[in-house]
């Protein structure tokens, strides 16, 4: 003859508030067909809609707790590998540099496409102060060079 689990005793042994244990016990009675949704909601003092939300959360928690885990005991005093932290740090730096590179490509393409028609990006909060039109800065540099050749004493 099969043994039946005493779910009420199992719920009572769990850590948690009295209200949480009462909700789980009521949910288990409902799942076993001992109570209807309306009876359970009334017993808990909540709406049926809220009961359905709780049911979804409880089932999601149960499924997550049932995920397969590595067999055996966890290692005692297992220390995280310092290389993992360094790898994470380097990956974050890599992502930042890739983003900055993409921004530089976009600024160059915009500069080539629109030339002088773009507003200056030098004081923009989104740039590092190196923005601006490439053509415009070259033109300004050439003008300064011409002026310095014409006015060597200046």
Mean pLDDT score of the chain, rounded to an integer? 82
Global pTM exceeds 0.75: no
The DSSP string of 49-72 is: HHHHHHHHHHHHHHHHHTS---SS
Q: What is the pLDDT of residues 56-83, one digit of tens each?
A: 999 999 899 899 988 888 777 666 778 8
Cα torsion 67, 72, 76, 77: sign: negative
């Amino acid at each position: 003859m099969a043994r039946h689990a005493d779910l009420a005793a199992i719920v009572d042994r769990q850590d948690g508030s009295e209200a949480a244990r009462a909700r789980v016990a009521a949910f288990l009675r409902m799942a076993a067909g001992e109570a209807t949704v309306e009876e359970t909601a009334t017993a808990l003092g909540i709406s049926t809609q809220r009961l359905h939300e709780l049911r979804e959360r409880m089932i999601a928690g149960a499924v997550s707790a049932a995920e397969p885990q590595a067999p055996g005991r966890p290692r005692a005093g297992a220390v995280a590998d310092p290389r993992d932290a360094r790898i994470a740090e380097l990956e974050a730096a890599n992502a930042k540099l890739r983003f900055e590179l993409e921004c530089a490509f976009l600024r160059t393409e915009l500069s080539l496409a629109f030339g002088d028609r773009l507003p200056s990006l030098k004081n923009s909060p989104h740039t590092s102060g190196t923005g601006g039109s490439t053509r415009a800065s070259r033109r300004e540099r050439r003008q300064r060079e011409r002026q310095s050749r014409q006015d060597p004493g200046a």
